[in-house]
Each structure stands twice: as structure tokens, then as C-alpha cells.
């Protein structure tokens, strides 16, 4: 698979370049050169990502440059470095690559809309990383590869090699550095493949809004009549699960853009959480685990190579990466019309929010900017408490502009094309975590069906006394008593106390977004 293709323009002089290899070749290389690589009983390749089993957001840096400085939302998420430090880290990655016998190159596209596609080149040292990005980028045809030319962005993944902690601006041996002006992205000190995927997403989150296109951390699917729904939500809220509906075509599971032509997927693949995966609960995803799929950090039986998706001894962040067409009802090309429904998913472990509520335009922006879900805290002496998590735009760690930029563009598109907004709680009912129980997936699917079919739009709604959202009094195939959360609690006074607590957490979080938000959006929050 090697050819005369060279990378000398980047200072890379490795003789053996494995360029745009397809899965059979990358499987061979993975089994030969990847530590602990094995083939699962399903045919997927199983690999380990090394010490890091998740992203390292505190190690992400962006070059502070006069051309982009005023665009970027600087702070704890977008941390600046100077051009010299970026050059040092890039040279460190290239110097490491030049010590190797072989490296891997993957060329592909980000964005299914041909008018706005971004050409991406991945240069990496591990065959599993090449296969991962072969899955996750949009795969060019042979003709497109022949005419690919120079990429718009290049990823230098030298992640096996650490950053120098004594380099100015470094806080650890991991550094993930991006220069918009150079169109380059450098990874050191982490072998977690998701850094490449989310690095490209960060790029799209910068350049698409400059073109008047909304860049969104969401999944999307399409009904038989062409109606499109978007699903926003943080990890664990059901974004991938609920968008993989056998009765609807999957446009994509994680990253999308919304232009005046409609919605398009940024990626050519899916990166699904594998924890507790089963054929019964998530049949489409389970069936996608086959030859060509990368299974990351899973545990398996040494003799049968059957994966135990419930085993989290390596990490809870077990993952599966596969081409989007591995989902039988994927829509290829991954584009759709303008969305009819925008669904914000939250896993409220406080047990306070309704299983579904309709949002006014102002409430939609408030909840979009808030990006709320709740995680279950650790247990100490048998006591557990939910922990509120707020991530602006349901993906703050990937946002480059101030969250208000994305919110304004989303609001504009929703108003222009008449999309309805919904808040769906996939968390707890009947009490908080430890007292109540998780929302029935059957009921949540019924709610999503009612949204997609339009029947919930015509329901009767009552305003929640604290959060102000519109709570339906009925929904097909969902018991009416479930729809009003207070009714599911045995201790009504405890519910009131918990609701006020959560409302105050919303209000406190939104303080940092008041500047730049209209009074209408600020007033759309909870009242206590």
C-alpha cells in the first residue's frame, strides 16, 4: 500500500508511508504493531488507547493570533499559546515521526455539503488511529483522492510521544494544539483517538459560524416524510440511542451543521458509547460492531473473544467507531432538510424536570446556553447526591466562539424555518437518584415518537410553576401521571425543596452568560 507519496513539505522524511489504506490492510498492521490488539468474535478490531482513555480538555491550546484573537472565547476552555510554542510542539511531533519505520496518512472530508467541505489530512503513528479516522472522516472516492491536492487542515498525531512539560505554556505531558492560521493541529502525550475527532469538530465550530452556518453538537435523523429532528445532549443522556431509530433514517449521531440549504453531518462515521451495549436495547448500534469497527478499551473473553460490554475495569468510556453506513437505515449522503423539531436531552438525576416539555423560543435559548444534565456522584457511607453539570450549547469544551454566537445563529435558523423546541428528561422520576428510578426507555421513545409524528404539538400544556416550561397533560403511550414529576414523588414537600435547589443551580450557572443575553432569554429561566 506504500507509494511514492511524500510528506517532505511538512519536514517528514519517513520512507514507509501507509497512505489511505482500507480496513483489511489496517487490520493487518494493527495486529502486527498495536499492543494488545485482537479481533473480536463479531469481527471488530479491539485496541487499547494507552494511559488516556478519554479526552484531555485542560491540555487543549489555541494559538493566539491577531487574525483570530478577537473571535475566540478565551478562558478555561480555549487557552492561548503563542506561535513559538506551537512550532516547538509541532516539531517535537515531527521529529518523533522521523524516528519511525512507518507512519499512516488518511485524507478525507469534514462536512457532507460539497459547497462547504473541509479537506483534512491525518498523519499518525498508530494503525488503529488511521482506521479510526478512516471511519470518522467522510471517505473520498478514488477520483476524489486523486484530485485531493493540499488539505485545508493537517493533524499531526504524535500522541505516543509526550510534550515537554518545561515548554512554556505546558501543564502536563499532554498537549493538544490548534492553529487556525496555519490550518494545523498537533497532538502529543495522549493516544486517545477521540482527540482527533473532536479536534476536527473544534475546527468546524470556528469556521462554519464565520460562514453563517450553525455548527452543533447533536445527532439528527429523518422521517419518511422528510421531517428532520435534532437531538442535543451531553454524555449519558441518550443522544446516540434515541437518534438510532429503525423507523427513521440516521443522518448522524454527533456533529452537524445547519445552513440555509438544510442540515448536514460533519462526519462519515459514528463513535458510540459501548458501555452496557446490548442487542435488545440498541440493536442498530450492536449490529454495527463488525469487521471495520474499532472497539476501544473493551474487555473480552480470552478464549472466545466475546466482548463483555458491562465490564468497565479499563474505563467506563468504552467506545465503538464505525462508518455511518454500518447503520442499516443511515441516509447517504448524510444530509437533510430544515429541522422540524429540536430536542434538548437531559438526564436529570435530581428527579425534578418533566419527561417532556415544550419550550418557547426564549426558553429554548436559555436551555441551549445552559446545557444542563446531572451526573451521579460517588457513594460515601451509602449516601449519594446528584451533581449538576452545565455545558454551554451542550458541548462547551468544543466551542470556540462565545456561546451566545451559537445560540443566536440557532435561534435565527429556528425562527426562519419554524422549528419547535422540546426539553426531554431521560433521567430520574419518582425521586432523585437513590430514591426514584430511571425514566422508562419505552416511555421516552414514545415521547420522541409523539414529537416526530406531530401529535404532541397539539397537546394541552400547563406551565411548570418553577421552570415555566410547557408540560403536556397527555402523550400517546405514556401514563399521564408520569408527565408531571411532582405526582410521581411520594414526598411532595421533598420534591418542592429539590425543585428549588435545581432552579437555583440554573440561575447561578446563567450568571456568567447574562452579559450578551437579551432580557427575554434571561427571564426565560426558572423562578424561585
Residues serving a catalytic function are: 55, 198, 217, 235, 239-240, 254, 319
**Residues 258, 265: Cα–Cα separation, whole Å:** 9
**Residues 182, 189: Cα–Cα separation, whole Å:** 21
**Residues 266, 120: Cα–Cα separation, whole Å:** 12
Could you tell me which of 271, 212, 226 has the C-alpha nearest to residue 54? 271
Contacts of 283 (CB under 8 A, 6+ apart): 246
Q: What is the dihedral of CA 28, 29, 35, 40, to 10 degrees?
A: -30
Secondary element (H or E) of residue 256: strand 255-259
What pairs with residue 295 in β-bridges?
Answer: 46, 320
Would you give the end-to-end CA distance of the chain in angstroms? 65
> Looking up cell 414526598, which residue turns up?
491
SS3 420: strand
Could you tell me which of 105, 107, 108 has the C-alpha nearest to residue 268? 108
**Backbone dihedral angles phi then psi of residue 128, each to the nearest 5 degrees:** -65, -35
**Residues 35, 76: Cα–Cα separation, whole Å:** 34
**Which alpha helices (DSSP H) does 71-156 contain, by range?**
83-97, 127-136, 142-146
Respond yes or no on whether the N-terminal peptide bond of residue 333 is cis (omega within 30° of 0). yes
Q: How far is CA 333 from CA 144, 250, 259, 369, in A?
A: 15, 10, 16, 30
SS3 412: helix
Cβ atoms of 178 and 148 within 8 Å: the answer is: no
SS3 414: helix
**Exposed, middle or buried: residue 243 (CB in 10 Å: 0-12, 13-18, 19+)?**
buried
Contacts of 32 (CB under 8 A, 6+ apart): none
**Exposed, middle or buried: residue 460 (CB in 10 Å: 0-12, 13-18, 19+)?**
exposed
Cβ atoms of 371 and 396 within 8 Å: the answer is: yes
**Residues 299, 308: Cα–Cα separation, whole Å:** 6
**Backbone dihedral angles phi then psi of residue 43, each to the nearest 5 degrees:** 105, -10
Amino acid at each position: 500500500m506504500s507509494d511514492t507519496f511524500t510528506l517532505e513539505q511538512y519536514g517528514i522524511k519517513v520512507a514507509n508511508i501507509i497512505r489511505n489504506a482500507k480496513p483489511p490492510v489496517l487490520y493487518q498492521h494493527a495486529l502486527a504493531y498495536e499492543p494488545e490488539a485482537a479481533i473480536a468474535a463479531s469481527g471488530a478490531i479491539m485496541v487499547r488507547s494507552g494511559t488516556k482513555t478519554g479526552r484531555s480538555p485542560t491540555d487543549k491550546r489555541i494559538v493566539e493570533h491577531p487574525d483570530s484573537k478577537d473571535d475566540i472565547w478565551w478562558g478555561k476552555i480555549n487557552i492561548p499559546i503563542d506561535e513559538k510554542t506551537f512550532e516547538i510542539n509541532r516539531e517535537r511531533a515531527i521529529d518523533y515521526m522521523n524516528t519511525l519505520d512507518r507512519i499512516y496518512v488518511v485524507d478525507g472530508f469534514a462536512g457532507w455539503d460539497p459547497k462547504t467541505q473541509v479537506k483534512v489530512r491525518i498523519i499518525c503513528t498508530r494503525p488503529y488511529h488511521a482506521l479510526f479516522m478512516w471511519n470518522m472522516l467522510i471517505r473520498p472516492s478514488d477520483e476524489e483522492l486523486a484530485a485531493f491536492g493540499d488539505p485545508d487542515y493537517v493533524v499531526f498525531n504524535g500522541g505516543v510521544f509526550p510534550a515537554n512539560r518545561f515548554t512554556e505554556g505546558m501543564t502536563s505531558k499532554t498537549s493538544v494544539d490548534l492553529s487556525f492560521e496555519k490550518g494545523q493541529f498537533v497532538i502529543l502525550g495522549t493516544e486517545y483517538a477521540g482527540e482527533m475527532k473532536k479536534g476536527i469538530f473544534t475546527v468546524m465550530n470556528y469556521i462554519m459560524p464565520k460562514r453563517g452556518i450553525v455548527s452543533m453538537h447533536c445527532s439528527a435523523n429523518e422521517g419518511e416524510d422528510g421531517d428532520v429532528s435534532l437531538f442535543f445532549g451531553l454524555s449519558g443522556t441518550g443522544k446516540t440511542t434515541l437518534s438510532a431509530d429503525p423507523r427513521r433514517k440516521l443522518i448522524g449521531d454527533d456533529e452537524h451543521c445547519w445552513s440555509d440549504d438544510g442540515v448536514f453531518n460533519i462526519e462519515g462515521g459514528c463513535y458510540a458509547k459501548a458501555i452496557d451495549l446490548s442487542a435488545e436495547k440498541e440493536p442498530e448500534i450492536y449490529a454495527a460492531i463488525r469487521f471495520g469497527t474499532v472497539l476501544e478499551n473493551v474487555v473480552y473473553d480470552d478464549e472466545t473473544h466475546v466482548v463483555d460490554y458491562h465490564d468497565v475495569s479499563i474505563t467506563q468510556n468504552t467506545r465503538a467507531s464505525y462508518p455511518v453506513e454500518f447503520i442499516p437505515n443511515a441516509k447517504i449522503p448524510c444530509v437533510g432538510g430544515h429541522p422540524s423539531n429540536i430536542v434538548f436531552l437531559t438526564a436529570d438525576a435530581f428527579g425534578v424536570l418533566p419527561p417532556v416539555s415544550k419550550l418557547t423560543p426564549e426558553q429554548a435559548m436559555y436551555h441551549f446556553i445552559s446545557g444542563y444534565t446531572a451526573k451521579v456522584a460517588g457513594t460515601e457511607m451509602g449516601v449519594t447526591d446528584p451533581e449538576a453539570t452545565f455545558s454551554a450549547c451542550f458541548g462547551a469544551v468544543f466551542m470556540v466562539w462565545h456561546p451566545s454566537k451559537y445560540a443566536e445563529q440557532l435561534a435565527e435558523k429556528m425562527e426562519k424555518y419554524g422549528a419547535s423546541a422540546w426539553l426531554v428528561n431521560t433521567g430520574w422520576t419518582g425521586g432523585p437518584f437513590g430514591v426514584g428510578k430511571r425514566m422508562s426507555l419505552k416511555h421516552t421513545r414514545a415521547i420522541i415518537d409523539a414529537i416526530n409524528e406531530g401529535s404532541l404539538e397539539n397537546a394541552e400544556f400547563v406551565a411548570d410553576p418553577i421552570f415555566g416550561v410547557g408540560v403536556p397533560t397527555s402523550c400517546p403511550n405514556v401514563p399521564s401521571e408520569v408527565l408531571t414529576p411532582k405526582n410521581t414523588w411520594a414526598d411532595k414537600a421533598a420534591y418542592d425543596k429539590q425543585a428549588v435547589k435545581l432552579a437555583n443551580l440554573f440561575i447561578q450557572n446563567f450568571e456568567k452568560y447574562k452579559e450578551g443575553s437579551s432580557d427575554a432569554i434571561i427571564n426565560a429561566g426558572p423562578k424561585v
